[in-house]
Each structure stands twice: as C-alpha cells, then as structure tokens.
Structure 1
Amino acid sequence: MTYQPVLPTGGLLGWRFLERTYGDQRAAYEASGAVERATDYFREKIGQITTAEELVADRRLLETALAAFGLSEDVNSKFFIRKVLADGTSDQDALANRLADRRYREFSRAFGFGEPGGPNTTVPGFADRITARFAERSFETAVGETSNSLRLALNARRELQAIAEGSGSETAKWFTVLGTPPVREVIEGALGLPKGIGALDLDRQLDEFQRRAEATFGTSTISGLAEEETLSRAIDLYLVRAGNDQGGPTSPALVLLRGF
C-alpha cells in the first residue's frame, strides 16, 4: 500500500499545512511498500542495463527512471523514450536537444546511453541518485492526486533554485524556465500572465515575463526570483490565483488521528 499525502484543503492554506508537515509526510511516503519495492528493484537491476533498449524493455525500471525526471506520462511512448536515451545530448541534433522541455535532456544525460563516455548505470552512486529523485518526485505526484497546484508549487520550489544555480546567462535561465512546463506554469500564474502569452514569439514572451517580474517582485532575473523570500512570495501568489483545486477531500478527523 502506498501512503497518500494528507491535505485537508488546497490552495494557500493547504500549502501552509504541507510546509509544516512535509518532513513527516515524505518519510511516511518513502517507507510505504510500493515505494520501497520500486527503489529496491531499481537498485538491484539497473547495474545490468547498458543500453536504452534494455531500459525501455523493463517496464518496472522504466517507470522509476521516468518518474525520477517528472516524465511518467511517457511510460507508454517506448520508441520516443528509446530515441531520447539512445541519441544522448552531445550532438546538437540529438532528439533531446531539439525538444523544448529540458527534462528530456536531463534524463538522457543522466543515463548516458548515447554519450561518448558510455552509460552511467554502473557508476557507483548512480542508483542512489536516481532513486532519491524518484522518491521526491513521486511524492509530489502523490500530492498532485489531491491538488495539482500544490504539486506544481513543490516542483517549482526545487527546480527554480536549481535553474538559478546552473551555468549560463540570465537570459538562458529564463529560456529554461519558459521551456519547462511545470515551472513555467507557476511563474506565469504568479505574474498574472494570460495563458495566451504562449502564442507569442519567444523573444516577446521573454520580454513580457521579465517586465512583469520586475513590476511584481522588483527583479527581472531568475537568480532574483529564486531567492528564498521572493520565491516564497511567488508561490503564494500562484496559489492564491490558482485557488483551491483539491480533487478529493481529506477527512479532518483523519488528519487529527494521524497527528498532523
């Protein structure tokens, strides 16, 4: 049985509750049978996998691998995923490099099947790194079964900081945000930008995001937005605008019984 995160409500109030109970709920989730079985199987088998074809052929391994990068929805797109992995990222024409969503590049680069140095699946610590990502992101997915906006908030809190800490110019970091749908949705919502902005050319989108960020938060850089206080304000604004999207009520009595 998999532990289902407890969320008495969605929106900003639900976020405050989740912030307070995050550590305990994560621990309970990771100790659940389904999560332990998935991580144990991955640790046991991944060292035997040396090609993209072998990974895609093992559905249990593939499910864990994709979930670790927030790509679970692609589990049945085997030809596509095999191509993403087999091409690697070294060649600018590789499939992962031609996709707007940077998660595919991270996924392909992490496994290394198409890289000059060969696969990383036998490198010490690889299984631990992937299963740690899997546990974190699958917890977020479980949160999303009750409130998708809270799932996106958790993801943005982590990913925006990672983007800010990465290499590249501030413009490149903005393009990374614009090309990462879950992060983009939170920032777009926090800035109060209309969904139709995605129809504009990319340079115009960048200009609108930067202009609105400066007006709202006093900074037009990703590094500035990722600062703890500013990021917290951005997530709060996003959640206020998103409203309470809780998909299924959690009994207050159950919350009390569980001690949260």
Structure 2
Amino acid sequence: MNFQPVLPLSGYPGWLFLNRTLETQQTAHDNTQQIKRETAYFEKNIGRIQTAEALVQDRTLLKVALGAFGLDDDIGNKFFIRKVLEDGTLERSALSNRLADKRYFEFSKAFGFGDFSTPNTQLSDFGARIAEAYKERQFEVAVGDQDENMRLALGAQRELDALTKRDISDNAMWFTVMGNAPLRNVFETALGLPSSFGSLDLDKQLEVFRDRAERQFGAKNIAQFADPEKQEELVRNFLIRADIQNQNISILGGQTALALLESASAIRPFR
C-alpha cells in the first residue's frame, strides 16, 4: 500500500492532530489504487458468491471480507474461516459462538452463510457496506504501521459507536468488550489494570471493569461511551498510560501518572 498517514507526533498530542486531519487523510487513503481496485472488485463480484466455499476460494474477495472485520491475518486459514462461516451464529455449538474473539461472530453474522438459506451476499447494498468497512479498517492498519496505539484508539471509537447502539444489556456490552482483544486492550490500559487481570474469573473481571469505569468515568455502564466526550476521555487515558508503559517511566506513588492525566485534561481536542 502506497499510502502513509501523516503522524508528526505520538501520544495524545498526535491523536489530536490525527483527529484534526482525519477526513482528509481517510479520503487520500481511500483513493489509492490498491484500495480502489480491491473494493471495486468486491462490489462487482460478491453478489455471485452464495457459499462459504466459494468465498474462501477467491483471494481478493476473502481479503476484503476478512479485512472489513480486522481479521486480515486469517487470509491463509481457509478451512477455519469456512467453518466459521458455514456454522453461522444461531446455534450455541457454532464455532463463532465458542471463540473468545467475537469478531468472528460478527463476521459470520454479517455474511449469513450458516444462518439463512439465502446469504446476505445477495443483498443489493451488501458489497458497498463491506467495502466501506474495509476502507475504514485498512486506514487503521496504515495508521498502526506507524503507531499501533493510534490504531487501537481509532478502533475503540469505531467499536464503541457500534456497540452503544446495540439493544443488549450492559453486561452483554461489557462481555463484548472483553471478547474483542483490541478494544479490551484499550480499556485495560485506560483503567490501569495489570497484565495478570485476564486470568481472573470472567464474573470477577466484569465486576472490576464496572467498578474501575465508575471510578474513572463516573458510571459503570458501557452506554456512557456513546458520549463523544467520554470516548475522548477514554482514549486520552489509554494513550497516556500506554506511553508510560512503553517508556518504562518509574512512577513514585502514581504521582507522575496523575500529573500527566491532569495536565492532559486541560487540552481540548481539535474540532
């Protein structure tokens, strides 16, 4: 891919710059020859695909399909992906329901091979919707090639925008966060949770997530992150704490981290 995002700064100041220039940079990315070629091919040809087997045999279609859900690394795992798609999502025994990473569930649900007699690939707007998701995700990948934390922050915003619109319980939302590795990373880092946290019982993890969220953001529920200001606060905490971890700063009594968080709170994002 020829596109390289402009990221002159790292950390939270870099995030503010990226947000200020996001629309322009996303457009430049979407207009690269590779992205235009891949998405045009997908939109033109996905309608002829009626089985999971047919999808995994077409590498370009599969690349866009997986990339739209952040599953790019599975491009070579054809048998596994076919199984995820053919099992669907309706049965508890379906592979996507047994995997901890719920991106596979969303992927299988979106295509509908195992859930319906006629898959969603036959819908008139399906190709365009998946192509748009692919563009967004691939821009995040390009950003991540320069700064992985920026990629995680962009992904967190996208995931939270979608998650907070779903008609599910708060516990289900938290379990969705816990089952999405990149989003979970953002929350764990922003909430100052140790690397050993994931070894706890799931119900205990849920309790800790909710308590820490209330302490730092004022409420226990995920729905609060529908508010752009709360999202920004989450991202700011994530980026500052990630910088501290990456630089191995020795923090005496947490005073340095607290000072950084307090000073950052005075910075207003570009609008």
Does TM, scored on the shorter chain, surpass 0.5? yes
8 Å CA contact 1:219, 1:225 repeated in 2:
no
> In the alignment, residue 82 of structure 2 is paired with which amino acid?
R
Alpha-carbon deviations, 1:217-236, whole Å to 9, x = none?
A: 11110001332111111100
Residues in 2 aligned to 1:16 and 1:222: alpha-carbon distance in whole angstroms: 23
- Deviation, 1:167, is 1.6
Distance in 2 of aligned mates of 1:201 and 1:121: 39
Q: CA deviation at 1:48?
A: 1.2
- 2:260 paired residue number: none
Q: Which amino acid aligns with 1:50?
A: Q
- AA aligned to 2:28 is A
Other-structure match for 2:81:
81
Q: CA deviation at 1:168?
A: 1.3
% same residue: 50
Cα drift, residue 117 of structure 1: 3.8
Residue 161 of structure 1 and its aligned partner are, at CA, apart by: 2.3
Alignment of 1:222-237 (within 5 A): 222-237=222-237
* 1:100, distance to aligned residue in structure 2 (A): 1.7
Given that 1:7 and 1:14 are in contact with CA atoms closer than 8 Å, whether structure 2 keeps it comes out as yes
| Residue in 2 that maps onto 1:218 | 218
Q: More deviation in 32-41 or 109-118?
A: 109-118
After the TM superposition, which segments of 4 or more aligned residues of structure 1 sit over 2 Å from their partners? none
Q: CA deviation at 1:91?
A: 1.3
d(CA) in 1 for partners of 2:243, 2:20: 20
Q: 1:167 to 1:117 in 2, by over 3 A?
A: farther
Q: CA deviation at 1:215?
A: 0.9
* 223-232 or 79-88, which deviates more: 223-232
How many angstroms apart in 1 are the aligned matches of 2:238 and 2:154?
A: 12
- Could you tell me how far 1:118 is from its partner in structure 2? 2.1
Normalising by structure 2, report the TM-score: 0.88
Q: Which has the higher contact order (CA 8 A, sep 6+)?
A: 1
Write the distance in 1 (CA, Å) between the matches of 2:197 and 2:227: 25
Q: Is residue 155 of structure 2 the alignment partner of residue 161 of structure 1?
A: no
Give the drift of 1:152. Answer: 0.4
Alignment size in residue pairs: 245
Q: How does 1:34-113 map to 2 (within 5 A)?
A: 34-113=34-113
Residue type at the aligned position of 2:220: S
CA RMSD of aligned residues (A): 1.2
